């Protein structure tokens, strides 16, 4: 086991079989070593910095039926909302004043926000805050729409692959296509976005093989950002009563991800804080380097209920900012309020500039 961890640390590579072996045989002693290697790797690539993103959950209306998700279309108990373009821009204003330079606009798959409406919102945000980055997380759209949104100024796009195992994906996503989801990620990359993929840990029937497949898929895709969180059940979904993921299992996946894709931006998710009051600090200590405090209006926070007992639903944006900052400092890390672009992206820009100059 030690030799395997050393290989992972030195070479940032393991075969699928080695990952499965590691997942099935990792004891407490080696888990500590894994987290330490992940921390060292984060330090080597990104230093002590934790990047802050202001999250705006702008609609909980969704046309999809993901079995695990609390805002799935057929949950008639969900109290639905949409923020107007003005309300979204107002959230960005609040965020900008608090120092944020990345806004993550997330929603269900809500086609009320047409390409035209989205472009208008994006152009308004960019006109007001030209030094801020915009990340979209709105699900699957066509190549044309993705391209036009990119040209309107969107910098990054988050689209978790959810699980890289076809069988499991198809069971969990009725009416959706495994191939299309993966194709969207390729298309987003090709267009020029900084791309985020990712998956949930502890899905019903998920095995060590499935999780190893997730890591192999990510290694191959090489995204700029990787969102990994525990699956947490919601009582108004077909998966109610299922067990859900644990903080410990998610920490192992975060640490492995940091070691396999060392340059990625890796959030410490709200779902981790929901399962454990110290979950976000633990994630940062296992290689994560991004946090996404909430900028959504308090009136809608609890309505964006993907899972139960979500934290921070009653806290003002300024409170969240301070709370997270305190948590980051408490473990000896530093807050970075800059745009926090991925290293890969920065390198791409530098080489473009270089070829322009010579
Ligand atoms: N609709 C967009 C999409 O499909 O990418 C973005 C919003 S979606 C609700 C954001 C993420 O929430 C999903 O990618 C999924 O991984 C996560 N999620 C949904 N239900 C969850 C649950 N019950 N527990 C943990 N995470 C969940
Ligand atoms: Fe919102 Fe702690 S992050 S209160």
Q: pLDDT-derived band of residue 315, with 50, 70 and 90 as boundaries?
A: confident
Å from CA of 179 to ligand 1 middle: 18
Q: Which domain holds residue 65?
A: 2-357
Q: How does pLDDT run across 329-346, given as a tens digit for each residue?
A: 999 999 999 999 999 888
Entry pTM: 0.97
Q: Which atom of ligand 1 is found nearest the CA of 271?
A: 25
Domain count, the chain: 1
Q: Is 323 in the pocket of ligand 2 (CB under 6 A)?
A: yes
Locate tokens 């702008």: which residue?
A: 58
Mutate to test the pocket of ligand 1, among 200, 201, 239, 272 (most ligand atoms within 8 A of CB): 200
Concatenating the DSSP letter of every residue in 122-153 gives: HHHHHHH-TT-EEEEE-----HHHHHHHHHHT
Mutate to test the pocket of ligand 2, among 297, 311, 322, 330 (most ligand atoms within 8 A of CB): 311
CATH (domain of 290): 3.20.20.70
Return the minimum-mean-pLDDT range out of 25-29, 194-198, 348-352: 348-352
| The length of the chain, given as a count of residues | 358
- Closest ligand to Cα 316: 2
Average of pLDDT values for 271-285? 97
Reference 319, options 94, 127, 144; nearest CA is 94
């Amino acid at each position: 086991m030690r030799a395997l961890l050393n290989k992972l640390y030195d070479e940032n590579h393991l075969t699928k079989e080695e990952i499965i072996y590691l997942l099935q045989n990792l004891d407490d002693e080696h888990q500590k070593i894994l987290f330490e290697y992940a921390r060292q790797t984060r330090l080597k690539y990104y230093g002590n910095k934790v990047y802050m993103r202001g999250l705006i959950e702008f609609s909980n209306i969704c046309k999809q039926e993901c079995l695990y998700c609390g805002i799935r279309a057929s949950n008639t108990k969900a109290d639905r909302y949409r923020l107007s373009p003005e309300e979204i821009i107002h959230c960005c204003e609040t965020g900008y004043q608090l120092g944020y330079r990345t806004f993550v606009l997330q929603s269900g798959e809500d086609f009320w926000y047409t390409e035209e409406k989205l472009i208008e919102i994006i152009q308004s945000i960019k006109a007001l805050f030209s030094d801020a980055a915009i990340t979209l997380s709105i699900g699957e759209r066509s190549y044309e729409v993705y391209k036009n949104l990119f040209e309107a100024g969107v910098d990054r796009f988050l689209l978790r692959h959810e699980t890289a195992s076809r069988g499991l994906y198809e069971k969990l996503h009725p009416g959706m296509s495994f191939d299309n989801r993966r194709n969207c990620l390729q298309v987003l990359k090709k267009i020029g976005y900084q791309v985020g993929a990712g998956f949930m840990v502890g899905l019903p029937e998920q095995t060590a093989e499935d999780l190893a497949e997730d890591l192999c898929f990510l290694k191959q895709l090489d995204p700029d950002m990787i969102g990994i969180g525990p699956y947490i059940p919601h009582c108004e979904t077909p998966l109610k009563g299922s067990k859900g993921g644990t903080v410990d299992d998610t920490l192992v996946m975060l640490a492995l991800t940091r070691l396999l894709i060392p340059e990625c931006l890796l959030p410490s998710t709200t779902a981790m804080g929901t399962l454990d009051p110290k979950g976000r600090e633990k994630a940062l200590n296992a290689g994560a380097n991004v946090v996404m405090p909430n900028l959504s209006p308090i009136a809608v926070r609890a309505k964006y209920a993907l899972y139960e007992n979500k934290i921070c639903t009653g806290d003002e944006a300024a409170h969240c900012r301070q709370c997270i900052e305190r948590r980051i400092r408490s473990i000896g890390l530093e807050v970075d309020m800059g745009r926090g672009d991925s290293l890969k992206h920065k390198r791409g820009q530098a080489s473009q500039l270089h070829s322009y100059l010579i």
